[in-house]
Structure 1
Amino acid sequence: MTTTMSPGADTGPATTRTAEVEGLVEQLRAHSQSYHSAHPFHLRMNEGVLSPDQIRGWVANRYYYQEMIPRKDAAILANCPDPAVRRRWIHRITDHDGAADGEGGIEAWFRLGEACGLTREEIADHRHLVPGVRFAVDAYVTFARTRPWVEAVASSLTELFAPDLMAERLAAFEKYYTWIEPEGLAYFQARLYQAPRDSEHALEVVTEHCKTPQDRDAAVAALSFKCDVLWSMMDAIERAHAG
């Protein structure tokens, strides 16, 4: 008697691998529920109820994160043995540092601060930086330096959720915080296309290299850690600028 397998009943290695990748992506995307877009401070920001001092406090503290992102990415590059990944990943540093003076995301953040009424000097010298934000950001950079490079890449996948947050934030600033000069919002506008591009590459890297259950669990844990970093930053900012 001959047994005929029905179409779609393939359970070979390729099908198993596809299911593993799909399961990993689903687990990663599920962390949108713990992304800092749901933090009460962010919700109030998007509702337009924060005071100018609260907005300035957030901008001044978030600068430390922006400042350290290129160092985090440099740590990933230093640990990554794959030249193809390095060639694509390195543009992240240029995105933040700029290819020349007066360019890049950090420069755009300075301009946001100035549009909010801060000076470059008081942003750059960290006089408004609260300890909890410094601790959280430093922990993230240390993670990127000391953990396996694929885990560090996985931790960056909060960018999967960033475009929605950036769009909501941009709309809120334009609607409610009209005292901020419009040219100061260029950072948010740039991230609307940078974040999807970057998260697509990072997701490709993670799904390609995470082939064992242990690898996949480590990637999910890395993203969870990054969500905790961002949430902890918001907790510290909220406590310092309760209003």
Structure 2
Amino acid sequence: MTAVAPEEFVGELRALAPRYWDSHPFHLRMHAGELCKDELRLWAANRWYYQRCIAQKDAAILSNCPLPDVRRQWRDRIVWHDGTRPGEGGAENWIRLAEAVGLSREEVLDERHVLPGVRFAVDAYVNFARTRPWVVAVASGLTEMFSGALMRKRLAALREQYPWIAEEGFAYFTHRIQAVSGEGQATVDIVVEHSVTREQQLEAIAALSFKCDVLRALLDTVDYYAGKS
């Protein structure tokens, strides 16, 4: 099969937007102010497991990539999540959010609240990055194309609907909104440049679809158990 033009390929990737988790019922309830404190804590504790593993996912991509230019660009993602020293980075900011909704640092770090379905979905994502071709794994991260709008909406909703959350708890979102302000264009450029056959383009589309499934599976699990509380 002949590869389609870059514009058409990017359009196929963007067409997956309805599969993103922005319209998930749990997110809709969150934005409407309908979550109780225990539900927010369950969400924060489980989302932590995803945040903790993102740097490992990116390190797996880095280890599989033979191109120095791409590796130099990609390593910044690990630094963003892990920081350059203890007490910095996106993962640390997520812990601050968890503390702001009433969890202790200890119970976040020991992962006592992480649900089996969440662990299974996130581990599958990390394993995907370890075992698939590096450009396919990069393509799985193109949910960046959709995440900026969701984060802006979530930050506004959390501030309005849950005024008891201290402002310092929102550091993850304020920093991440800036990081994804380009809607993943740098990642799109990498995927387009290195997906030179139609088969590779279709693999990239399938990878992004898989990532959307991972995110929705995470939230499906949290939503189910939140309903049991």
TM-score bracket for the superposition, by shorter chain length: over 0.9
Show CA shifts across 1:117-148 (max 9, x none): 10000001010000000000000000000000
Aligned residues: 227
**Residue 121 of structure 2, aligned match among 118, 129, 136:** 136
2:96 alignment counterpart: 111
**Residue 109 of structure 2, aligned match among 124, 130, 133:** 124
Q: Structure 1: which 4+ aligned runs deviate by more than 4 Å?
A: none
Structure 2: runs of 5+ lacking an equivalent: none
Structure 1: runs of 5+ lacking an equivalent: 1-15
Which amino acid is the alignment partner of residue 122 of structure 1?
E
2:44 alignment counterpart: 59
Higher relative contact order (CA 8 A, sep 6+): 2
1: distance between equivalents of 2:14 and 2:193?
16
**Residue 195 of structure 1, aligned match among 180, 188, 200:** 180
1: distance between equivalents of 2:218 and 2:86?
28
CA contact (8 A) 1:160 1:196 kept: no
2: distance between equivalents of 1:72 and 1:108?
19
CA contact (8 A) 1:75 1:144 kept: yes
2: distance between equivalents of 1:221 and 1:142?
16
- The reply on whether 1:146 has 2:146 as its aligned counterpart is no
1: distance between equivalents of 2:57 and 2:103?
26
SS at match of 1:90: helix
By how many angstroms is 1:197 displaced? Answer: 4.4
By how many angstroms is 1:193 displaced? Answer: 1.4
Equivalent positions of 1:145-164 (< 5 A) are 145-164=130-149
1:35 alignment counterpart: 20
Which amino acid is the alignment partner of residue 216 of structure 1?
Q
Which amino acid is the alignment partner of residue 205 of structure 1?
I
**Residue 68 of structure 1, aligned match among 53, 58, 70:** 53
By how many angstroms is 1:161 displaced? Answer: 0.5
1: distance between equivalents of 2:46 and 2:105?
13
- The reply on whether 1:218 has 2:203 as its aligned counterpart is yes
- The reply on whether 1:179 has 2:148 as its aligned counterpart is no
Alpha-carbon RMSD: 1.2
Show CA shifts across 1:178-222 (max 9, x none): 111011001011111112347121101100011111011000000
By how many angstroms is 1:101 displaced? Answer: 1.1
1: distance between equivalents of 2:11 and 2:24?
22
Which amino acid is the alignment partner of residue 28 of structure 1?
L
Q: Percent of aligned positions with the same letter in both sequences?
A: 53
